[in-house]
Amino acid sequence: ICSFVCSPKGFPKLKNDAFLRAARGEETEHTPVWCMRQAGRYLPEFRETRAAQDFFATCRSPKLCCELTLQPLRRFPLDAAIIFSDILVVPQALGMEVVMVPGKGPTFTEPLKEVEDLLKLRQKVDVTAELGYVFQAITLTRHSLEGRVPLIGFSGAPWTLMSYMIEGGGSTTMSKAKSWLYRHPEASHQLLRLLADVITDYLVGQVAAGAQALQLFESHAGHLGPEQFQDFALPYIQDIAQAVKSKLKEEALPQVPMIIFAKDAHYALRDLAHAGYEVVGLDWTIRPQEARAQTGKDVTLQGNLDPCALYAPKEKIGELVKKMLEGFGTQRYIANLGHGLYPDMSPEHVGAFVEAVHAHSRQINKH
């Protein structure tokens, strides 16, 4: 393992680059497809691999992350792999303790309550020291993929991470985190800036380790209105794209396509299309034609089938996919769900989704 992990050069040649071509706006024979949370609990083999281990212990094991990343690709002809990890490894790198509580989800033992709590966070993070296990997982996985498909790296975006750090876990209202934006705008910006700097280094490190594309998850965008998004989310989303691109250049690393996925942020689609990302990810609450109209011709769109559509009979999944492809068009487009796969979904229905995207997009391209 060490020769892989210690020298990320000499990766196998990529055989299927449809996802990367679509991300860059080049022509593809079929529409590429992958699924958020494709490495997940809906797969029995995933549950088996995960059974013996604490969740974050799994995240810290390059070997297990590699295995979990590869599992869906053994079943389905997906066009991309996404490294198995979690967005909350970044708050951990800042010195916060996060545990996975069964039935409750990720929980911070000491969330940020007062502005003074910011002083407890590491102000300078050595990402290789704190998050090197993710880099090792990426390098190992990139070799183990043997060039089958590209590997996507990712991070949570600053506002989403900040909301977890203050709420101490999931929340339906994000009222504690949002109250900071109103009561402590300066401290909020201080925290968001710290997060943006760490995320930038983290994403650059992922590319150095072998990631061929990057996705930034602003999963809690829907809790902000247009004004707060404009003040507290968008500037950092833009800064990260710009800083990652310039650091990749400085370090003579490949310029990889970047995807921004801001869930429930249709009010900000125009801005996101100009935020410096090659791809804008969409949730299922917006019509394809409307998304195209708002984002223009210079970005690739990714999404956005309602994940619950996968509970439908297979024929119905095929019809919904066809309609989605007709709405987006087959080019400058990456098919995906509008959010992650749910644990009780049938792997066969996930397979039906992937195959329908390939079959219908080839059909449409012929005509």
The CATH number linked to 114 is 3.20.20.210
pLDDT of residue 9: 67
Task: Assess whether 37 carries a catalytic annotation.
Answer: yes
Count of structural domains within the chain: 1
Query: Is 166 part of a structural domain of the chain?
Result: yes
Task: Assess whether 50 carries a catalytic annotation.
Answer: yes
pLDDT of residue 102: 87
User: Which is the catalytic residue, given 42, 60, 148, 164?
Assistant: 164
Task: Assess whether 41 carries a catalytic annotation.
Answer: yes
Residue 110 structural domain: 46-73+80-252
User: Which is the catalytic residue, given 50, 75, 231, 342?
Assistant: 50
Backbone angles phi, psi at 40, to 5 degrees: -160, 180
List pLDDT tens digits, range 175-221.
999 999 999 999 999 999 999 999 999 999 999 999 999 999 999 99
pLDDT of residue 16: 98
Query: Is 188 part of a structural domain of the chain?
Result: yes
pLDDT less than 70: residues of the chain = 1-9
Query: Is 8 part of a structural domain of the chain?
Result: no
| Residue 82 β-bridge partners | 152
How far is the C-alpha of 67 from the C-alpha of 27, rounded, in Å?
A: 32
DSSP H or E run through 70:
helix 62-75
How far is the C-alpha of 224 from the C-alpha of 226, rounded, in Å?
A: 7
User: Which is the catalytic residue, given 24, 41, 75, 193?
Assistant: 41
Q: Does residue 288 contact residue 305 with C-beta atoms inside 8 Å? A: no
Query: Is 212 part of a structural domain of the chain?
Result: yes
pTM tops 0.95: yes
Q: Virtual CA dihedral for 292, 293, 294, 295, nearest 10 degrees?
A: 40
Task: Assess whether 86 carries a catalytic annotation.
Answer: yes
User: Which is the catalytic residue, given 24, 75, 86, 306?
Assistant: 86
Query: Is 353 part of a structural domain of the chain?
Result: no
**What's the token pair of residue 157?**
């975006």
List pLDDT tens digits, range 66-107.
999 999 999 999 999 999 999 999 999 999 999 999 889 999
pLDDT of residue 7: 46
Q: Does residue 44 contact residue 179 with C-beta atoms inside 8 Å? A: no
Query: Is 342 part of a structural domain of the chain?
Result: no
User: Which is the catalytic residue, given 21, 37, 142, 292?
Assistant: 37
Nearest to 340 by CA among 234, 173, 219: 219
Query: Is 334 part of a structural domain of the chain?
Result: no
Query: Is 330 part of a structural domain of the chain?
Result: no
